[in-house]
Every structure is written in C-alpha cells, then in structure tokens.
Structure 1
Amino acid sequence: MTPGSNLPLSAARVAVDVTAPVRLDVSGLLLAADGKVRSDDDFVFYNQPSAPGVTHSAAAGGGDTVTVDTAAVPEGIDKIVVTASLDTPGATFAGTEPTGTVRDADNGSVLASFTPPRLGTETALVLVEIYRRDGGWKVRAVGQGYADGLAGIATDFGVSVEEPAAPAAAPQAPPAPPAPAAGWGPPTGAPAPVAPPPAAAPAAPAPAPSAPGTGKINLDKGRVSLQKNQTVSLVKGGRPMLSSVRMGLGWEPAFRGKSIDLDASVIAYGPDRKKVDNCFFGKLMILGGAIQHSGDNLTGEGAGDDEAITVHLGGLPPEVTGLVFVVNSFSGQKFSEVAKAYCRLLDDRSGEELVRFDLTHAEPRTGVMMAKLVRQYSGEWEMTALGEFVDARTVRGMTKPAAQAL
C-alpha cells in the first residue's frame, strides 16, 4: 500500500502486525466520530491490552500485534488507529522502516502491507487505520508522523497524559497521589506507590517509561520562532486555530546583488500526496477563495513581506490535508544571490505574527520549500519549517519534491 491508499477488508477479524529492526511500542486507539477516544479505556497497548473488539499482543515473529474483531467493535466507534513509537528515549525513525502487515486473524493470510516512506525526525506515527465505510470495513495506509512521541498521538486523540506533579515546597506529608490515567502508570503487578515519611521532603518524581510528557510546541506562549524541521501545532488555549491565517514570504537581494524576481506559491495536496491545486501569481485564488495570493513582486525591494498567501483554514475542503509553501526564481537567479529570506505565519484578522522561520543558509539552486501546513487527524493544523532547496524555476517543478516533503 502507499500513503493514503485504502482497501476493503475481506475478513471480519484482522491482525495488524507491526515490525521494525528496533523495539517499538505499538498501540491501538478506538475513535468515535469526533476523532477522539470516548475515555482512556479506548487506548489499547501492552499495559492495557484489551478494549471491546480490539486486543494487543506480542507477534509470534517479533514486534507487536493489534487485532480488531470488527463484529465486536461498539457501534459508536468509527475507526481504530494503529500507532507505533520508538522504545528508546530520544531516538527517531530516521533510517528505520517500520512495516504494518494486515492479516486475516483466522487463517493468517496477508491482506495488505504498508511501510511509510521517507521517515526522519519523527518519534511516533500513525501507521494504519481500520475504519467503517458504507456498512463494511476498510484499511487505510496513513504514515502520519509525530515529533513528540506516543504522548503527542495520545493527546491529539483525547487520551489523558498526566505530567509528574511538582514537589511540595515544605517537608510535610503529601496528599495521597491521584490515580493515574489508564495505562500510564507502572505495569500490572507492580507495587503501589508508597508515600514518603513526613520528615522527608519528597524528591521530584521521575516519569514512568510509559508516561512521556507531551512536549508539543503550540501558540500558548506567544510567537514561535522555528528552526529547520521544527513543528508547531496551531493550537491556542486548547483550541485548534481554524480562522484565516496569512503566510508572508520575504527576501532581499544579496548585499552586492541586483533586484531579484522571486515567486511565492502554495501547493495543496490530498491525503495520498496528490496535488489538488496550486496558487501563484498567475492564479491568485483557488478552492473557492479558501486560498488567495497577494500578487507578484518583481524586485524583492522594500520592507515587509514581498508576497503573501492567505489561507482560510476553516474553509478548506476536506480533501485538502497538506499545504506546501514554496519560492522559485523564474529568471534563473540562484538563492545564493538572495539575502534574508523568511516566512512568517500571521493571524489574518489581527495581524499578529504567530510563527516565523528565517532561512539561515542558501544554496545555488532556483527553488526552495519554505514550510508546510499539515492537517492532523484530530482536526488541528501543524506548521513545519522546511528550508529545502531544489532545482525548479516554477511552481510546476515543485509539485513532486513538495509532495515528498509531506
């Protein structure tokens, strides 16, 4: 299977084997129509191995297996997502190719197989999903990566992830600790935590291996300055940002250079990484006005953004799941002749700058992918700084490399 592709399931009971050359933590989440778990009981993993219709077990040939009995899945559950995260703290999927193999759970025959391509800094990912469609069940290859581990996935889908409590300021007897969210405590059979004696000041508790913090950057603390490959979730005060945003792109001629004509564009993609449409100086409005371009700047001179692209996030059609913002030199001048290139995301209503990415190096090439916006399964959007250079003088030449960057 390829990312975004789907197949009907020919078996009522299917097993998803997840294998990799390194140790993975595999889990399954039962999601309702709103894309969230109903409670922490819908999170299935090694320390909570079963929920209605879904079980977790160790695979016979290594790895883990999530088995789905579609006939036993409750009516209120629309899909089961199978996730994988790296067991080693700080490790990423770069150089690691996890594979999800979907089998008939009764006779072992292989129904589908999926290996996500081009993994890099991700530390967790949604591998596949089993979902209802027109009275039957299907499997979809997903491959959506996360930079903040299993906790980032769990939080996006509504699972409670509790951070360790801060130690008491005075050496007094602490209150009894609250019960942890399902599965995020010590393994089954471990002794219950014992409160320290009153005379001793409690030490700062270390998080259990199965309870990582979320670590996701959002907009709660104000403007975010990104470095290459960093990601920010467009969430503020716990709410996804679905209003209009403006991506401003700017550049200046190199210090001893002449005026330079660059063109900013955005390419919209579907979940299968196929282009839906692109917006540039020759096509200033696409998708019924959901994306609008400010027009062409022929010199790059002057303060402020040279070109801007406004995106009405709430007005994007559901088939658009990714946007890649690119800049090209139609005249053939190289980016090594450009200074101070940047992109910044603003709240279009207030003009407040939300996210900024300054390009800190340049290559003698004619195109650069500046940033991407990707719609998450939980509904919010995430922005990732790219800064990847290619040889392409027009937005048409960016279609394939930008798809690979999603």
Structure 2
Amino acid sequence: MTPGSNLPLSAVRVAVDVTAPVRLDVSGLLLAADGKVRSDDDFVFYNQPSAPGVTHSAAAAGGDTITVDTAAVPEGIEKIVVTASLDTPGATFAGTEPTGTVRNADDGSVLASFTPPRLGTETALVVVEIYRRGGGWKVRAVGQGYANGLAGIATDFGVSVEEPAAPAAAPQAPPAPPAPAAPWGPPTGAPAPVTPPPAAAPAAPAPAPAPPAPGPGSGKVNLDKGRVSLQKNQTVSLVKGGRPVLSSVRMGLGWEPAFQGRSIDLDASVIAYGPDRKKVDNCFFGKLMILGGAIQHSGDNLTGEGAGDDEAITVHLGGLPPEVTGLVFVVNSFSGQKFSDVAKAYCRLLDAQSGEELVRFDLTHAEPRTGVMMAKLIRQYSGEWEMTALGEFVDARTVRGMTKPAAQAL
C-alpha cells in the first residue's frame, strides 16, 4: 500500500503487526466520530492490553500486534488507529523502516502491508487505520509522523497524558461558533486527494526586489507579471495566464533577533480549516506531517540564526482533502519573547518543485505580543487558491491558542 490508499477488509478479525529492526511500542486507539477517544479506556497498549473489540499482544522482538474484531467493536467507534513509537528515548525513525502487516487473524493470511516512506525526525507515527465505510470495514495506509513521541499521538486523539513542567501556554481556545459556509468553500465534486510528491528541501536565497502589489481597488493581483510583494491585507491569486499554476507550494518563514547576540525561539505552524471555519488539523514542530502527508513541516529552529528561512511548511495543494478550504500560517513565541524583540520577520511562498519565490510579505512593524498570523491561503469555488498577507498580532504562545483568532481571520 501507499500513503492514503485503502482496501476493503475481507476478514472479520484482523491482526496488524508492526515490525522494525529496532524495538517498537505499538498501540491502538478507538476513535468516535469526532476523531477522539471516548475515555482513556479506549487507548490500548502494553500496559492496558484490551478494549472492546481491540487487543494488544507483545512480540518477542521488533514490534507488537493490535488485533481488531470488527464484529465486537462498539457502534459508537468509527475508527481504530494503529500507532508505533520507538522504545529508545530520543531515537527517531531516520534510517528505520517500520512495516505494518495486516493479516486475517484466524488463518494468518496477509491482506495488506505498508511501509511509511520518507521518515526522518519522527519519534512516533500512525501506521494504519481500520475504519467503517458503507456498512463494512476498510484499512487505510497513513504514515503520519509525530516529533513528540507516543504522548503527542495520544494527546492529539484525546487521551490524558501527564507532561513535564513547561512554561505556561495559552489555554485551549474554545471552538469558533458555527458560521455560514464561507464563499471559499470547496466546489461540489472536488477531486479526491492524490498521493503527494516528496517535500522539497527548504530554499533560502535572498530574493531580488519586487514591485509591490497594487493597492485596494486596483483589481485582483495574480502572478502574470512574476513575483508579487504584498502589503498587509493584500491578496494575490495563485493564477498565471488564467490558470492555476501550482500543485505544491512551500511557505518559508524567517526572522532575526532585534538585538545582536540574543536567540529568538519562534515556532511556525499552519492550521487547516473547513468551510465552516472549524479546525481540521494543525501542523507544527511537534506534528511534522498531517492530512496523509499533504502538509509537512521542516522541523523546529531554536534560535532564528542563519540566513534564509528558519522554518518551512510544504503544502501539496492537490493532495489536500476537499473539506480543507482554508490554511492560516502563524508564528508563536512559546518561551514568551515578544515580537518587538524580533527583526526582519517575513513569510514567502515558493513553488515547491522549482524553488522559485512567487509571493513575499515582510512584516514592517512589530507589537509586544507573542503570536502573529502571517498569511492565509483560501480555496475559491473555481478551485484556485488565493494568498492574503495578514500581519495580525495576538497574545498566544502556542498554535492551540491561535485556533480561534485564525478562524476569525478567514
């Protein structure tokens, strides 16, 4: 199987073996329709080896097995995700290729196998998921990686995990109230997601000066005349010659300390929303890949030192599911440093395949706050995407605290 592919299950009882050359901790999570566990009892692992219809069994070496009896899974459970994390503290999946093998649990016959590609700094990942569809059950290859171990996966799916003390973060913002479907909602019959190509390495050449985008009222800006330099609240359509020109883009974000010699630890993230302005998922340093690999993060930069982009987020537009209609790119100061201590903050949009810079937005002023919404990408009814420079500051030290203000910015 390849990432995102799925197959119908021909067996009622299936066993998912996850193996690797090194010791793995394998777990299963029973998820309701909201994508969360109902309680911590729905987290199956070596210390809690059973839940209704799902069991964990240990192997002698390499990895463990999650067995799913689909006939015994409670009605309220829509999906079982099978995860793997490395047993050695601090180890990553770089150079290690775990394989998930789905077998008929009664006769041992192999139904499918999947080896997630392009693993690097991940310390845990969702390997496959078993899910209901049309009165039956299917298996999907996922391969979504996390940089903060099994705790990151468990927390993302609603399991309570005790974490070491850290600087206080902004509390979880409540979800935005329901709003009418925005005019940038997905068109009916939007194409199905496709397997994205490998992410391009972040590029960092200094851009040449570009003419600023026309001011308000001067017509929609596009890429017909080459690279566009945006000012706050200006929008550019990612179209050239009347046609969308991109399948994959990379958002590069960069900054420098305002005072020489001081390190600035900022975190770049992207939040994906649906047409109702409800969060679909977010990608950040602790969760380097989401939506089946359609969005990938370059990893955490702890100082802001060095030329070029400090962090980059690659988006395979053709691989985004139809329900994702808006993306908001944000930067936060987890350690509490203010943006008034930051110089030369910018974001730039590049063609992920060629590395060509297409759009740039330089933050020309700063406020003594801990979060900033840099830009948003919006899918139009026609299927094309538009980028708008935001430059809006908020008090939020984590991407979670940006969820509500970013939804309002859409």
**TM-score calculated relative to the size of structure 1:** 0.49
1:71/1:90 CA distance change after superposition, 3 Å: same
179-188 vs 161-170, which moves further: 161-170
Cα separation, partners in 2 of 1:93 and 1:238, compared to 1, 3 Å: farther
Match of 2:328 among 324, 335, 338: 324
Q: How far has the Cα of 1:240 moved from its partner? A: 1.1
Moved more, 393-402 or 58-67: 58-67
* Structure 1 residue 216 displacement after superposition: 1.1
Q: Find the residue that maps to 2:402 and give its secondary structure.
A: helix
- 3-state SS of paired residue (1:309): strand
**8 Å contact from structure 2 (residues 273, 407) kept in 1:** yes
Gapped regions of structure 1 (runs ≥ 5): none
Q: Distance in 2 between matches of 1:196 and 1:136?
A: 27
Deviations 1:273-310 (A, max 9, x none): 00000000000000000000000000000000000000
Distance 1:278 1:59, change over 3 A: closer
The Cα offsets for residues 54-88 of structure 1, whole Å up to 9 and x where unpaired, read as 99999999999999999999999999999999999
Offset of residue 381 of structure 1: 0.2
Deviations, residues 223-269 of structure 1 (Å, cap 9, x unaligned)? 00000000000001211134100000000000346101000000000
* 2:318 match: secondary structure: helix
- 1:219 aligned counterpart, secondary structure: coil
Greater shift after overlay, 169-178 or 5-14? 169-178
Provide the rounded CA distance (Å) in 1 between the counterparts of 2:168 and 2:251.
45
CA contact (8 A) 2:196 2:294 kept: no
In the other structure, the counterpart of 1:83 is 83
Is 215-224 or 3-12 further displaced after alignment? Answer: 3-12
- CA contact under 8 A between 2:248 and 2:318: conserved in structure 1? yes
Q: How much does 1:405 deviate?
A: 0.1
Hey, what does 2:156 align to over in structure 1?
A: 156
After superposition, the Cα gap between the structure-2 partners of 1:318 and 1:333, relative to the gap in structure 1 and judged at 3 Å, is same
Deviations 1:116-136 (A, max 9, x none): 999999999999999999999
Q: Secondary structure at 1:159's aligned position in 2?
A: coil
Cα–Cα, structure 1 residues 140 and 225, in superposed 2: closer, same or farther, change >3 Å? farther
Task: Name the structure, 1 or 2, with higher relative contact order (CA <8 Å, separation 6+).
Answer: 2
Give deviations 1:149-178, integer Å, cap 9, x for gaps: 999999999999999999999999999999
Any conservation in 2 of the 1:164–1:205 contact (CA below 8 Å)? no
- Is residue 176–residue 195 contact of structure 1 (8 Å, CA) maintained in 2? no
SS of equivalent to 1:374? strand
Matched residue count: 406
Hey, what does 2:365 align to over in structure 1? 361
Moved more, 129-138 or 290-299: 129-138
- In structure 2, relative to structure 1, the CA distance for the partners of 1:254 and 1:141 (3 Å cut) is same
Does structure 2 retain, via aligned residues, the 8 Å contact 1:172–1:198?
A: no
RMSD over aligned CA atoms reads 21.6
Instruction: Pick closer, same or farther for the CA change 1:170–1:85 going to 2, 3 Å.
Output: closer
> Judging changes above 3 Å, is the alpha-carbon distance between structure 1 residues 74 and 276 closer, same or farther for their aligned structure 2 residues?
closer
Distance 1:225 1:147 in 2: 34
Residue identity over aligned pairs, in percent, reads 95
Asked if the contact 1:164–1:207 (Cα under 8 Å) also holds between the matched residues in 2, the reply is no
The separation in 2 between residues aligned to 1:191 and 1:268, in whole angstroms, is 18
Change (3 A) 1:390 1:41: closer
Q: Against the structure 1 CA distance between its residues 15 and 401, is the aligned structure 2 distance closer, same or farther, given a 3 Å change threshold?
A: farther
Note closer, same or farther for the CA distance 1:153–1:245 as it changes in structure 2 (3 Å cut). Answer: same
Contact 2:270 2:327 in 1 (8 A): yes
The CA distance in 2 between the partners of 1:8 and 1:159, in whole Å, is: 28
Say whether the 8 Å CA contact 2:124–2:148 is kept in structure 1. Answer: yes
- In structure 2, relative to structure 1, the CA distance for the partners of 1:254 and 1:239 (3 Å cut) is same
Contact (CA 8 Å) 2:199, 2:314: kept in 1 or not?
no
CA distance in 2, matches of 1:187, 1:393: 35
Indicate the larger mover: 111-120 or 332-341.
111-120
Q: Distance in 1 between matches of 2:359 and 2:52?
A: 42
Structure 1 SS opposite 2:14 = strand
Q: How does the TM-score come out when normalised to structure 2?
A: 0.48
- Which runs of at least 4 in structure 1 moved beyond 6 Å after TM superposition? 1-214
Which sections of structure 2, spanning at least 5 residues, go unmatched?
none
Q: Residue 181 of structure 1: SS of its match in structure 2?
A: coil
Work out the CA distance in 1 between the residues paired with 2:358 and 2:198.
Answer: 47
Q: Distance in 2 between matches of 1:202 and 1:334?
A: 26
